[in-house]
Amino acid sequence: MASHRRPKQPSRTRVTVLTTAAAAAVAFSANAANAAPSAKLSKTEVKAKVDKLYEEAEQASEKYDGAKEKQEKLQKEISTIQDNVARGQQDLNKLRDGLGSMATAQYRSGGIDPSVQLFLSSNPDDYLDKASTLDQLSSQQVEALREIQDKQRELAQERAEATEKLKDLASTRTALGKKKQEVQDKLAEARKLYNTLTAKEKAALAAEQNRASRSSTERVNLGDAPAGSSRAAAAFAAAQTRIGSPYQWGATGPSTFDCSGLTSWAYAQAGVSIPRTSEAQANAGTRIYNQSDLKVGDLIIFFGDYHHVGLYAGNGQVLHAPHTGAVVRYEAMSNMTFEFGVRIS
């Protein structure tokens, strides 16, 4: 007889799971169908984001400049120490040879006990502390041994100093590489964003940049503010000869510059050595907090972390290397966050 059992009904839990999954699938399909592609940024929005990336790249660039300067300084110091160690080792060898010749001559003439040969070892310190042996030495030998002791200590200290500086150099090189990569990443991101623009939009931005550069030289009114000193005037005059030179991160001239590269180069032309980075230049002279007290050639420090610097040009204008994509030019100080001026004496 045929079976007439009713089909097994799905459990309440299974029905609930299936229903929820189906609903989710429908909702996902609806959302996917209705989702609009991400909106393209406008030219103005792209410019704002690119400018921000350029500023961040400049911040990293100043850190890179500082690490590079420290690396160069450490390399010079290590080279000097190594030269000193080499010369010191030669002096030590001469002292040992002299003592050896002296002891040998005395031994051959029967004027010294064979135990004195122990002083020819590489570590005479152990024997100088033994009074029973000292009475067998001449005053000349004692003095020679003390010279050897002093020279050994001096060489040990210099070698230890070189070792520490080599460790510092290694960490500085690591920091240098990281900051270099950070700058390159920021600039690559900016280029990628810039390339989302159409050819027409790119041309419009380029025209705006060119107009800003031209107007900074053709129409700027610098007034008649005096220079802070004859050297400040010379530095400012040197920087003026570089108007129109491209910004290049890490560059110190004479044809391309970053911000602190321009100011340090300009003062070097006036015979004045100032630090390489904007952060260090912030402490290179007397600070001027009131803008009305600024004089032509004063350094102008911008932003809270001191990552940008230029030269005061008069009438509220700064002469500076702004950022990637721009050239050395005049610009209103009000376009940036002024911190203080620095007068180089």
Helix (H) or strand (E) holding 286: strand 286-288
What local confidence, expressed as pLDDT, does residue 131 receive?
Answer: 41
What gap in Å lies between CA 136 and CA 202, rounded to an integer? 91
Write out the two tokens for 84: 């000193």
Cis ω for the linkage preceding 254 (within 30 of 0): yes
**What tokens does 173 get?**
């090189």
Q: In this structure, are residues 310 and 300 in contact, taking their beta carbons and an 8 Å threshold?
A: yes
Q: Which one is catalytic: 4, 259, 307, 323?
A: 259
Residue 82: predicted pLDDT = 92
C-alpha to C-alpha distance for 313 and 148, rounded to whole angstroms: 61
Q: What is the percentage of the chain residues whose pLDDT exceeds 70?
A: 75
Radius of gyration of the chain (CA): 36
Q: Please tell me the distance from the alpha carbon of residue 58 to that of residue 265, in angstroms, as a whole number.
A: 18
Distance CA 158, CA 151 (A): 11
Say what the pLDDT of residue 22 is.
Answer: 41
Instruction: Tell me if 229 sits within 8 A of 344, measured CB to CB.
Output: yes
Largest CA distance in the chain: 136
Report the helix count and the strand count for the chain, using DSSP H and E: 9, 6
| Annotated active-site residue in 4, 307, 320, 323 | 320
Residue 19 is predicted with a pLDDT of: 42
| 256 contacts 245 by C-beta, under 8 angstroms | yes
190 Cβ neighbours under 8 A, 6+ residues apart: 49, 50, 53, 54, 57, 324
Which pTM was predicted?
0.69
Looking at residue 118, the DSSP 8-state letter turns out to be G
Residue 308 annotated as catalytic: yes
- What's residue 151's pLDDT? 84
Q: State the pLDDT at residue 121.
A: 52
Give which of 202, 267, 266, 239 is closest to 327, Cα–Cα.
239
3-class secondary-structure state, position 329: strand
Of 165, 167, 160, the closest CA to residue 77 belongs to: 165
Closest by CA to 244, choosing from 322, 336, 337, 301, is: 322
So what's the pLDDT on residue 104? Answer: 60
Distance CA 52, CA 72 (A): 30
Query: Which residue out of 4, 307, 308, 323 is catalytically annotated?
Result: 308
What is the SS3 assignment for 142?
Answer: helix
- The span from the CA of 313 to the CA of 334, in Å, is 13
Low-confidence ranges of the chain (pLDDT < 50): 1-8, 10-38, 109, 112-115, 117, 130-132, 134
